[in-house]
Chain A
Amino acid sequence: MTEEQNNKEPFEENLFEQMENAPPAVSIKRLQRSRSDVIITGTCSGIAKYFDTDVANIRLIAILSLLLGGWSVVAYLITAALLPVEQNPEELAEVERANQRKENFRVMFSGMLILVGFHFAFVQIGFITGSRSFLFPNSFVFPLLSIAIGVYIILSKRKLSEKSEEPLPTLKRTRDNRIILGVCGGIGKYLNVDETAVRIIFIFAVLLTLGLFAVGYIAIGLSTQLEEEKKVETQQ
């Protein structure tokens, strides 16, 4: 080995080290369909990533755009057909994926409630007639839509939820999320459903039964215990 070669080697090694430790090149943002967060085609998720915003807001806007007569469905399908699919989807852990599914379900469910609410409010006010969607009568569009959704759900291989390994809770009044006695929060935890949903359904039931339903609330409130206070561990 010559002297010249000996002097060259450390320089080359440093160059490789520098290349390995170099910061990653800034990736160019591309408008594409997501593969890591998909409900139908991943278009809303792709748009949200491109504009760096919350995907739930984009989905809510997409659902509410159905109020314009249903033509947004056509726009959505054309966009989905034109956009390229994401090549390197983000890998998510099972827990993250389960949380994502849960949040997506809540976004879709709340969006549908708001959509139906606005639709019938507009029908009552007289803004829209409510008898036709696209160019066809509703008596034709909605059954077909329902059949399409049914076939999609049956053929879909996605799981709705995983069975939890944790032991099931007993019914206790909640301490951290209570308004009066903590019964609705406790029932929400017991049934593993959203406490706010339980609370709102309960309020409807109480209003429609002139307060008689509240007897059930009081009965549960008086005969169940308050959950234990969580001990905060302090590090010494």
Chain B
Amino acid sequence: MRRSNNIIIGLSFLIYGVLSLLNGYGVINTGSSVIIGITFCFYGIATVNQTFGNDERGKLFFASVIFLIGVVLLVKSHFELLDSRGIIFTSILFIGGAALLILFLENFKEKVFLYTGSILILLGILSATFFRNYGLFSLANKIGNLFEYFWPVLLIVFGISLFINRKK
């Protein structure tokens, strides 16, 4: 039975709602990305704690990703970054790698997650240091601009695809 997972999701909605309401009326003074970051971190930590070693790999993986996205949002909103688009490029590689490492920790038999997670984290480090000198980020920024404009269309396509394939 997954009753406790309902409580985590419910509490996450409550935290988001209460913090947004307090922010909207000036009781606390923070940005929406901080509130989303706090909510994501809460949901991620609580769900990872609940699902780790409990045969729920899907939830474990996505909760790890959500926690790390929350961390990125919190870091982005608390520090001034010169290349805020570049952090997305590196973050995707780090988050993908870290989530695969969590899957390896959950099941030590699947060494492929260790190798692949390590490769992705290494690529993340290289993209933040070595690849940057080769103008990789300027090209990524162009794609980022396109993504910023067309992300609603991608969301619609994603939703329609899930709706059509729901009975698989």
What is A's interface to B at a CB cutoff of 8 Å? 56, 60, 103, 106-107, 109-121, 124, 139-140, 142-154, 156, 158-164, 168, 170-171, 190-197, 200, 204-205, 207-210, 212-213, 215-216, 219-220, 223-224
Cβ of A213 and Cβ of B24 under 8 Å apart? no
Instruction: Kindly state the separation between the CA atoms of A74 and B3 in the bound complex, as whole angstroms.
Output: 30
Q: Specify which chain B residues have a CB less than 8 angstroms from the CB of A106 in the assembled complex.
A: 162-163, 166
Cβ of B92 and Cβ of A196 under 8 Å apart? no
Q: In the complex, which of the residues A149, A193, A208, A224 contacts B140, with contact meaning CB atoms closer than 8 Å?
A: A208
Instruction: Kindly state the separation between the CA atoms of A60 and B16 in the bound complex, as whole angstroms.
Output: 25
Instruction: Kindly state the separation between the CA atoms of A192 and B113 in the bound complex, as whole angstroms.
Output: 16
Q: Specify which chain B residues have a CB less than 8 angstroms from the CB of A109 in the assembled complex.
A: 162
What is B's interface to A at a CB cutoff of 8 Å? 1-3, 5-7, 9-18, 20-21, 24, 55, 57-58, 61-62, 88-89, 92-93, 96-97, 100, 109-110, 112-113, 115-116, 119-120, 123, 127, 136, 139-140, 143-144, 147, 149, 151-163, 165-168
Cβ of A116 and Cβ of B110 under 8 Å apart? no
Instruction: Kindly state the separation between the CA atoms of A212 and B96 in the bound complex, as whole angstroms.
Output: 11
Question: Top 9 nearest A-B pairs by Cβ distance?
Answer: A150-B13, A113-B159, A146-B17, A117-B155, A147-B17, A153-B10, A154-B10, A150-B14, A117-B156
Cβ of B20 and Cβ of A143 under 8 Å apart? yes
Q: List 28 A-B contacts (CB under 8 A).
A: A110-B163, A114-B159, A114-B160, A116-B155, A117-B153, A121-B152, A139-B24, A145-B17, A146-B13, A147-B14, A147-B18, A149-B17, A150-B12, A154-B6, A154-B10, A154-B14, A158-B6, A168-B57, A170-B110, A192-B58, A200-B157, A208-B88, A208-B89, A210-B136, A210-B143, A216-B97, A219-B112, A223-B116
